[in-house]
Amino acid sequence: MIKLTPRTQPSKAMVFLSPLLALALTALTAFIIFVFILTDIEISRVFYTLFVEPLTDRYYISELLVKAAPLIMIALGLSIGFRAGVWNIGAEGQYVIGGITGGAVGLYFYNVEGFWLLPLMSLAAILGGMFYAGIAAFLRTKYQVNEILVTLMLTYVAVLFLSSMLQGPLRDPSGFNFPESRLFHDSALLPIVWQGTRAHIGLVVAIILSFVTWFGIKKHMSGMQIKITGSAPRAARFAGFDDKKTVWFSLLISGGVAGLAGLFEAAGPTGQLTPGLPQFYGFTAIIVAFLARLHPIAIIFSALLIALTYLGGENAQITFNLPSSITKIFQGMLLFYFLACDILIQYKIVFIKTIGQKT
């Protein structure tokens, strides 16, 4: 019989080994699934297309960075709330609203150029995302309504709102009635940091934010406060930390960052507002945050890993006509195994010999 026994001290080795173990198990399971489902394709070629090819040349690597940037940003914001037990599951909605408010500013000044435009758009995006997450913060602090459900429901609303905006006020007047906005002009587009690719300044912002968050959590009392409120809400209240303040702080930060990520997507790789703006980044960022164990620097690496599954999925779609949903399977499985393997940090598996009698 197998039993879990708590370790006296968390295992340092397992902190590093468990993610690797989770990766290996994911690959193994994927292999078994493929053997059963993809009888007509050579499995090794599928694996190559999914995981190796996206790392082989300049184009793929730059696209990896393009996809990692919003994931890093959103996951950073979410990780702050998750530490405090504030579950913002609807970052996707805040991302969309940020794209709309920031994008709307850019479209309003469609015939005015200026260095001030991009900062103004970013500000509008941050405020838009903050406002949208703020609704959930208000309802939780005032009426104790669960923020998981509110943020999620608002995500569906945001996607519908985007669609109505693109058929109405934000539609390109000369766009043959397509539900798309005008193209942003040059000073409303994000600067490219790697010439000849789509890798934009958002990546730099994302990495800077990671370090800022890291220092913030390390140095500041608010970081301490958030950590304690999450792990022991009662103790936090006795210590005088304000539960409501933490809810507001977590949701406004994660909403603002998600909003900014939404604008960066519109003003970066897409260059306009389209119905394709929501790409599940808001949900995937939850996985990114957990894979990184909510650590701001580790988020950069887990975002790159998850970006690889996105890119690999798209690649497999083109090469083998596999559905892009394969990405979600990988992401779900990776998180399953990761959560399961993390048990090895706090517990050890003990094999108990059952001779003659049952325990």
Regarding 21 and contact with other proteins (CB under 8 A), the answer is: no
The residue among 153 and 318 lying less far from other proteins, judged by its C-beta, is 153
Pattern 315-354, binding to other proteins, x per CB under 8 A?
Answer: -------xx-xxxxxxxxx-xx--xx-xx---x-------
Answer for the pair 4, 345: CB distance below 8 angstroms, yes or no: no
Q: How far is the CB of 326 from other proteins (least distance, A)?
A: 6
Q: Which residues contact 229 (CB under 8 A, 6 or more apart)?
A: 84, 85, 236, 241, 243, 246
The residue among 56 and 163 lying less far from other proteins, judged by its C-beta, is 163
d(CA 90, CA 278): 12
Q: How far is the CB of 73 from other proteins (least distance, A)?
A: 19
The residue among 65 and 303 lying less far from other proteins, judged by its C-beta, is 303
d(CA 216, CA 229): 16
Task: Using CB under 8 A, pick the residue from 9, 111, 168, 356 that binds other proteins.
Answer: 168
The residue among 167 and 197 lying less far from other proteins, judged by its C-beta, is 167
The residue among 144 and 354 lying less far from other proteins, judged by its C-beta, is 144
Which one-letter amino acid corresponds to residue 89?
I
Regarding 88 and contact with other proteins (CB under 8 A), the answer is: no
The residue among 90 and 268 lying less far from other proteins, judged by its C-beta, is 90
Q: How far is the CB of 4 from other proteins (least distance, A)?
A: 7
Task: Report how far apart, in Å, the C-alpha atoms of 155 and of each of 56, 90, 136, 149, 158 are.
Answer: 36, 6, 11, 10, 5
Helix or strand or coil: residue 2?
strand
Segment 48 to 87, residues that bind other proteins, using CB under 8 A = 87
# residues contacting other proteins (CB under 8 A): 46
d(CA 289, CA 359): 39
CB-neighbour burial class of residue 183 (10 A; exposed 0-12, middle 13-18, buried 19+): middle
Measured over the CA atoms of residue 145, residue 147, residue 150 and residue 152, the dihedral's sign is negative
| Torsion, CA 291, CA 296, CA 301, CA 303, rounded to 10 | 70
Q: Binding residues for other proteins, per CB under 8 A? A: 4, 6, 37, 87, 89, 139, 143-146, 148-150, 152-154, 156-157, 160-161, 163-164, 167-168, 283, 286-287, 290, 322-323, 325-333, 335-336, 339-340, 342-343, 347
